[in-house]
Each structure stands twice: as structure tokens, then as C-alpha cells.
Structure 1
């Protein structure tokens, strides 16, 4: 009788291990082939997602504006101006809600400043540089 019990327990352990491995593989496959879609996220998830992605960006890199738009979707607020041959655009993505009023304001967002579609500043630096550049634009 103990040999039969040992065999049953042994088989259960094998099946549980196989089930756990299958679960892990399916989870990893879903994460790999089904990336986050910002258009389908609720506002709270999107804020966390935006903040997480923006933290990975560097203004010293070569991040193109289209890459940001492809990853984060449409910005919550945007502004732009031309200065001679240069185009400056600031995109605001909401990363933290301050007032639950249903309105997104710039102080609830992280700014990304682009010059000729290339990221040059992030956050408060982006806002101050944009304001300075637009005030001095010809």
C-alpha cells in the first residue's frame, strides 16, 4: 500500500510541476507577443505606464519623436513653435493626478521637449527650456 501512495504523490508532483511550467511559459508568451496598448488602458494604468516609460528615456540619446508617439500614444497636451528652420515641440504625458476633476493640466504631466523631432529635454527642464526658447523666438 505505501508504494501505491508514493506513486500517486510522485505523479501529482510531476503534474503540478508541468502545470506550473506551462503557466510560466504562457505568461511570458503573452507578455512578449501582446505589448501594452495605451489606447485600451484606464487612466490610472496609463499614468503608471507613462511614468515608467518616460523614466527610461534620456535626452542625451537619439530618441525620435515618432518612437515616443508609437510607445506612449497621443500626448495629453502639446505645444509647438518654429524658430527659423528649427521646430520645437513639447509633449505632455500625464504621469500623476493632482486633482480628481477630470481635466488634465500640465502640472499633472511630464514634459518631453523635441527639437526637429529629436528629444532634447525631459520634465521641468523641458518646460523651462521650451518657455525660454519660445519667448526668444523670432
Structure 2
């Protein structure tokens, strides 16, 4: 009976290919779960996702909530039949106090559940709408 010999390099190559395939499978098909992230990972994740948002992409509030989860802070008002809601997602830390404040977040402003402003523009527009709502 002939002996079947496999070289160490062949075994190493097969193992490397399996490792690469498994790693790629995780990266491409595993969806990040924001509820399981540490606060540090979550704020980096929030910043990364929000930085890719473009107003012309017609992003809905539901899409944002599905991707980023619950916001850290939220405010809403109804004016002239339109619902305005600003969602704040923590994207950086200013103080080591265990409290998330609006200045540590990036704001997303929605009008009737459609994204209309991001960041400082969102805060400014919401404040203007709120001031004129009275």
C-alpha cells in the first residue's frame, strides 16, 4: 500500500485558505449589533456610519434606527402638520463623567421621518423651527 504524504507547506496553505475564507464570511455577512457593543466601539461605529450619510440619498428614520439602534438623546415637535425629530447619536466623548450630552453627539434631523440635516446644521434648523413654533 502506497503511503500518502502531505507536506507541511500544503497543510499550512490549506489552513491559511480556510482562515481567509472564514474571515471574509464574517466580515461580509455578519451584521454589527450596536446593543452588544461597548460604548467606545459604539461611538466609533456611529461616527463611521453617520459620516457616510448623504442628504440626497433619501434616508428614512427607520433605516437609521435599524442601523444605529436607539439614539442617545431625542427631541420632537409638530409644526404646521409636519413632524420634526432630532436624534442625537454619541460620536465622541468630551468629559469622563458617564453622562452623554448633546455636545458629544452628532444630530440627525428628520422631517416626517426623512433625513433633512446632519450635525450642526440639524441642531440649528431644529432650534429655529422650535423657536418659531410658539
- TM-score, normalised via structure 1 length: 0.90
Deviations 1:15-56 (A, max 9, x none): 111111100111111223321100000000000000000011
Q: Which runs of 5+ in 2 are unaligned?
A: none
Q: Deviations over 1:90-110 (max 9, x none)?
A: 000000000010000000000
Number of equivalences: 130
The aligned residue for residue 62 of structure 1 is: 58
Deviations 1:62-84 (A, max 9, x none): 10000000000000000000012
Aligned residue for 1:30? 26
When Rg is computed on C-alpha atoms for both structures, the one with the higher figure is: 1
Match of 1:16 among 9, 12, 16: 12
Counterpart in the other structure of 1:119 = 115
Note the aligned Cα RMSD (angstroms): 1.3
TM-score by length of 2: 0.92
- 1:36-75 alignment, distance < 5 Å: 36-75=32-71
| CA–CA distance in structure 1, aligned partners of residues 56 and 123 of structure 2 | 17
Q: Residues of 1 paired with 2:121 and 2:13: CA distance?
A: 51
- Unaligned stretches of 5+ residues in structure 1: 1-7
Task: Provide the residue aligned with 1:91 in structure 2.
Answer: 87
User: For the residues of structure 1 that align with 2:24 and 2:73, how far apart are their CA atoms?
Assistant: 34
